Structure 1
């Protein structure tokens, strides 16, 4: 066998050119169409047919099933996609990835692209000098596209041919005549190659060249394709290792879906190949069992037909697959952390603008419904459970006379200040890193405003807390009554906000209207004086100092109410914060 170390290096180099071309082309397509693709993916419904179509179209456009799958894993991790939605997208991606095989077969074997590949590189290189980003990426796409076929040509030339290296045939024949064992051996080879190279397209190119050179027969090539289907799932599973349970479920569902397909195909392997051979002849090609040159077309046909059949067979079992995956990877609650430590803002979420936005929304909502809710209620000397209950607010005020010893300033420094800084820093990073569209930029701006208002609410609560405690301990019943009125007013708003964001009974619109009315009242109250305080002053029922505090807190309370409602509207007032 005349094949030395230099020849092996040439083969590896040729594979490197091919892989680099795939990466450049895929990256360029992602930049050209990625925003639109991710937007479509983020706004998906639970319709499984729409999910399959989405997965197919995205993978066909960006020419990388791995990129689609990683996107799906990231979106599942952020909670943008449910498990069933993610499974349907992956099913579509499996069909979409077969387009690459046809591209290689038709343009790499049927048509000689090598003659025009270098001129295409020159054209693409010229386009990269454009001032327009879109034109630059078109140039990168053209360069990547050309490099694929330059790499493919190098691969064909670097691959040893049977005539000059007859030893290869005798070596491989030991493993191609073992019946089903041969099928399993080549399936394993396809899996390992895909895992090592991290590209099913590159493994497919190698498989097609090995067929065309006469190295392996049609059956062994088909077995390698099945192995590639298993190997390609490793990328998503590796990405999910550092993600949450949702991403792990999605990655595992991908593996299970592909494994089920390989298992039933192994049972029907030989009859299915006979069908593909017949189909190839019907499409005008020669039989892959007779001519080695016909195998690339047959393999591409096998790849596409198998993935379509597997998708439409398992389409009806998406829910059982999802339930099985949820059983083997159960839901894990967020680990108990100090409140000031971000729960949703991670570096992984800064991979896409959609995941960054949903993380910001989740973190802001968590801060609002937990920490801010706790600080405001305790500052008013009310227990949170009383706000959430059905108790009459008058009775709640009557039973909430005991001092809860709330240190608002300490709570701000220990539970809010750090998390507020992290949210603002994350939001600013997202703005600088991504080219956000108008809706996304508005959303980031609204999140920043909501968080700033939360900090202002705490400052209002701090001022109010001191006077509430003073009033509760005072012997002046009139002062107590006024401050109970303030507390009741805020408590009413907090209860409506709680019901609005909880909204288990579909009454969102009703509570939204109530909040609007309460906010309008607060705005009008800020501008008007309180007649009951004026009356107390005229009748000399309160001191001058008490009156001053009451007037200040009257404005303070209404201002706080307005801000509480505005934050609720910003964070919860839209049915879909990513699209609205």
Structure 2
């Protein structure tokens, strides 16, 4: 094999993969925020999971990326293993669309398509036109790469005997397809390569189908590698993908002669036959597994058993695989981690409330420990968001991420004020400072309204409920009024000699910190309103 042939083969494969990449990115950009809503619409129904997995894979043109996304969602607790299995099945179906596209004999139109696409991509006046242009360019490159691979392998027609062994030994074909796809990490590329070889007469259908089966097994390596640094649930999702493919291949190898007859009847063109075989294998395999999703889930848990691990403090939703696999989903992960951060600081405030009312000194260490967790989590979310900002995000998602980054600071500051409050409580205990009954009542009243504001702001961030935004804005005004009123009342008590000077200092600091918490809760709620407004203006 000459050097030029190797270069042409690698170059053709590179063009093919790059075409898939930019076409998938263009489709994802066009989908925009709808991708997040599509993923969020997942339910526990495996059939709906299959539909979502199919549609997402058709959009991003990569079953590996969809499976990695599902694995990451299971790790983050956004999806159950049963839901992920449905998505994995759907991803297997969605990826066959690429093979069906390249089976069309339209390589003669590849260069004109690239030319038209470049006109839109370079001279387009709107982002939508540029996205469409990029998608058309990717579509054209797909066929240029395919044609280049076919030409590079033309000389092998005189060495057809090298590949006939796959016809007589299907297991060898499966191993070859698995190994090649593990290296390339793209089943679409290796299926395309198989189609290119078959179209040159190098591979009869009997040899191509086992290689195709191997391609389907090999593509599972990406999710397995991605799950190595994740929790047990994520590993179960990754291995569910492996078992789904391997068991399916075993089933179809057992009926290989019958399957070959069905495939041969589907078309007279061998490229189309291979594309049809790819589709039929994954659709039929899904139909076999879908009614037994529950049993399959139990099987996976038996082979990869649960460990009963407890979720550690620190990031739960931030998975760096999502940054490249699906930046839009990564933005959603930031939002969910922020909700978790919000719940953490709310719990700190509730502990502060308990400490002052019940005179419970044991809560001090609990709040201080939670503050360390808040600081760590804030750093992690900020670092993750900074890395995510380097990706090409749709405009609305980019704005949303910027708003979230601002909101992270507000939530972290609420944690700081909770720490200030618990330190004031500690000072009060150590110096045996006693509040009057009236001061305790006023503290309760203000603390309750502040807790309501924080709770509603976190719920607004979690559920995107604009009606609650208005409540938070109203509460913030009430908190400001109450702070001024209570400060005035406390000064009056101090002048009357009802209150100790040392108690007055502590009480004033408490009011000041609670008022600032109200301001930050207001900011968090307001960012949700700003994000929704940006989405509506798109």
- Scaled by the length of structure 2, the TM-score of the pair is 0.78
Per the TM alignment, residue 185 of structure 1 is displaced from its structure 2 partner at its CA by: 1.5
Q: Does 1:176 align with 2:170?
A: no
Aligned to 2:260: 273
After superposition, the Cα gap between the structure-2 partners of 1:522 and 1:227, relative to the gap in structure 1 and judged at 3 Å, is same
Aligned to 1:526: 483
Between the aligned partners of 1:531 and 1:135, the Cα distance in structure 2 is 61
Aligned to 1:542: 499
Between the aligned partners of 2:18 and 2:397, the Cα distance in structure 1 is 35
Aligned to 2:24: 26
Aligned to 2:111: 118
After superposition, the Cα gap between the structure-2 partners of 1:364 and 1:44, relative to the gap in structure 1 and judged at 3 Å, is same
- Does the aligned pair in 1 maintain the 2:428–2:506 contact within 8 Å? no
Aligned to 1:306: 281
Aligned to 1:330: 306
The structure with the largest alpha-carbon Rg is 1
- Does the aligned pair in 2 maintain the 1:105–1:296 contact within 8 Å? yes
Per the TM alignment, residue 248 of structure 1 is displaced from its structure 2 partner at its CA by: 2.6
After superposition, the Cα gap between the structure-2 partners of 1:118 and 1:324, relative to the gap in structure 1 and judged at 3 Å, is same
Between the aligned partners of 1:249 and 1:350, the Cα distance in structure 2 is 22
- Does the aligned pair in 1 maintain the 2:46–2:86 contact within 8 Å? yes
Alignment deviations for residues 299-318 of structure 1 (CA, whole Å, 9 cap, x no partner):
33222222211112211122
Secondary structure of 1:249's aligned partner: helix
- Does the aligned pair in 2 maintain the 1:78–1:358 contact within 8 Å? no
Alignment deviations for residues 287-331 of structure 1 (CA, whole Å, 9 cap, x no partner):
xxxxxxx43333332222222111122111222223333441536
Secondary structure of 1:274's aligned partner: helix
Alignment of 1:215-294 (within 5 A): 215-277=202-264, 279-280=265-266, 285-286=267-268, 294=269
Alignment deviations for residues 414-436 of structure 1 (CA, whole Å, 9 cap, x no partner):
56556545544544554564545
| Match 1:210 to one of 197, 201, 222 | 197
Alignment of 1:134-145 (within 5 A): 134-145=128-139
Alignment deviations for residues 524-547 of structure 1 (CA, whole Å, 9 cap, x no partner):
42243579757755764335x358
Between the aligned partners of 1:312 and 1:301, the Cα distance in structure 2 is 16
Aligned to 2:515: 559
Alignment deviations for residues 50-98 of structure 1 (CA, whole Å, 9 cap, x no partner):
3222222333344332333333334444443332222222212222222
- Does the aligned pair in 2 maintain the 1:80–1:358 contact within 8 Å? no
Between the aligned partners of 1:532 and 1:6, the Cα distance in structure 2 is 89
- Does the aligned pair in 2 maintain the 1:63–1:97 contact within 8 Å? yes
Per the TM alignment, residue 437 of structure 1 is displaced from its structure 2 partner at its CA by: 4.8
- Does the aligned pair in 1 maintain the 2:364–2:422 contact within 8 Å? no
Per the TM alignment, residue 372 of structure 1 is displaced from its structure 2 partner at its CA by: 6.4
Gaps of 5+ in 2: 460-464
Aligned to 1:449: 407
Aligned to 2:462: none
Aligned to 1:130: 123
- Does the aligned pair in 1 maintain the 2:487–2:511 contact within 8 Å? no
Alignment of 1:10-89 (within 5 A): 10-33=8-31, 35-89=33-87
Per the TM alignment, residue 138 of structure 1 is displaced from its structure 2 partner at its CA by: 3.3
Between the aligned partners of 2:441 and 2:17, the Cα distance in structure 1 is 71
After superposition, the Cα gap between the structure-2 partners of 1:242 and 1:184, relative to the gap in structure 1 and judged at 3 Å, is same
Secondary structure of 2:116's aligned partner: helix
Aligned to 1:388: none
Per the TM alignment, residue 230 of structure 1 is displaced from its structure 2 partner at its CA by: 0.8
Alignment deviations for residues 349-393 of structure 1 (CA, whole Å, 9 cap, x no partner):
54344443344345444444446644x5666672xxxxxxxxxxx
Aligned to 1:148: 142
Between the aligned partners of 2:131 and 2:241, the Cα distance in structure 1 is 31
Secondary structure of 1:485's aligned partner: helix
Alignment deviations for residues 110-164 of structure 1 (CA, whole Å, 9 cap, x no partner):
x5x23x33333333344442264444443333333223323323333332468x6
Alignment of 1:91-106 (within 5 A): 91-106=89-104
- Does the aligned pair in 2 maintain the 1:186–1:223 contact within 8 Å? yes
After superposition, the Cα gap between the structure-2 partners of 1:502 and 1:433, relative to the gap in structure 1 and judged at 3 Å, is closer
- Scaled by the length of structure 1, the TM-score of the pair is 0.73
Alignment deviations for residues 502-521 of structure 1 (CA, whole Å, 9 cap, x no partner):
99xxxxx9xx89x9798776
Per the TM alignment, residue 227 of structure 1 is displaced from its structure 2 partner at its CA by: 1.3
484-493 vs 262-271, which deviates more?
484-493
Between the aligned partners of 1:571 and 1:77, the Cα distance in structure 2 is 28
191-200 vs 516-525, which deviates more?
516-525
